[in-house]
Amino acid sequence: MTKTARIRLKREKLLDQGVQMLMEQGYHGTGLKDVLETVGIPKGSFYHYFASKEAFVAEAISHYIDPFIQRLDAYIQDPQLDGLTAIRRYYAELICEVEQGGFKGGCLLGNLMGEVGDTSELCRHSLKVAVDHYRDIQKSALFRAQQEGAVRNDLNAECMADLLVDNWQGALLRMKIEQSVQPLQQCMQVLLDDYFLPKIPK
């Protein structure tokens, strides 16, 4: 294995562990020493991989959201699914996973938005990029669903995608205290099975 490949592998391991610990302990509860010890990298080596803890967390944000974006995009690109069905199936899968995981963690983006979204400019920027990208993929699916006649046309697709992202984050927080997926199911039912649907004239 080349030196470049070894560095890339160690960065990936640090990011994997960082995401896990940030989910469990938050930004302020996650110490670099613990991350490094778990991965088996000497403390003095950290700055070979990341410039600072903020830079590390900013990259961990992208590392965290990328698999969700890839999974969502796979649903949307499935030729067998229309735009609305693709989004419904994606969120249904997430709800099942959250329930199987014991309602823990929620979403790293939402957790960090509340913890450092207005105190770390570097993390704030990374969070905004991640949220915007995530939103834009859902916007493309909703725009397609509008063209397919499955979603109302009197609302902007971007506005509806924002509503999805924002309400999902709020439902995840409610889920933690309720210890139930009911807030998530209600969120999706109200938006995807009612509010976003074409309105039938009375």
Classify residue 136: in a domain, yes or no: yes
Domain match, 126 and 160 both:
yes
Classify residue 200: in a domain, yes or no: no
The model's pTM is: 0.91
* Number of domains composing the chain: 2
What's the mean pLDDT when you consider all of the chain? 93
Range of the domain at 15: 1-50
Domain match, 83 and 175 both:
yes
Residue 99 pLDDT > 80:
yes
Classify residue 89: in a domain, yes or no: yes
Residue 199's pLDDT is 84
Residue 179's φ and ψ, nearest 5 degrees, are 55, 50
The one-letter code for the residue type at 201 is P
Domain match, 108 and 177 both:
yes
Residue 52's φ and ψ, nearest 5 degrees, are -165, 175
Classify residue 166: in a domain, yes or no: yes
- Mean pLDDT throughout 3-22? 88
Length, in residues, of the chain: 202
Residue 202's pLDDT is 61
Domain match, 37 and 80 both:
no
Which tens digit of pLDDT belongs to each residue from 137-172?
A: 999 999 999 999 999 999 999 999 999 999 999 999
Work out the percent of the chain whose per-residue pLDDT is above 90: 82
Domain match, 63 and 105 both:
yes
CATH number, domain containing residue 16 = 1.10.10.60
Domain match, 77 and 24 both:
no
CATH number, domain containing residue 110 = 1.10.357.10
Answer yes or no: are the C-beta atoms of 142 and 83 closer than 8 Å: yes
DSSP string covering 120-164, please? -HHHHHHHHHHHHHHHHHHHHHHHHHHHTTSS-SSS-HHHHHHHH
Residue 182's pLDDT is 96
Angle, in degrees to the nearest 10, between helices 182-190 and 157-178: 160
Classify residue 201: in a domain, yes or no: no
Domain match, 45 and 61 both:
no
Domain match, 171 and 79 both:
yes
Of 201 and 180, the one with more pLDDT: 180
Rounded to an integer, what distance in angstroms lies between the CA atom of residue 36 and that of residue 19?
Answer: 13
Which tens digit of pLDDT belongs to each residue from 107-137?
A: 999 999 999 998 999 999 999 999 999 999 9
Residue 75's pLDDT is 96
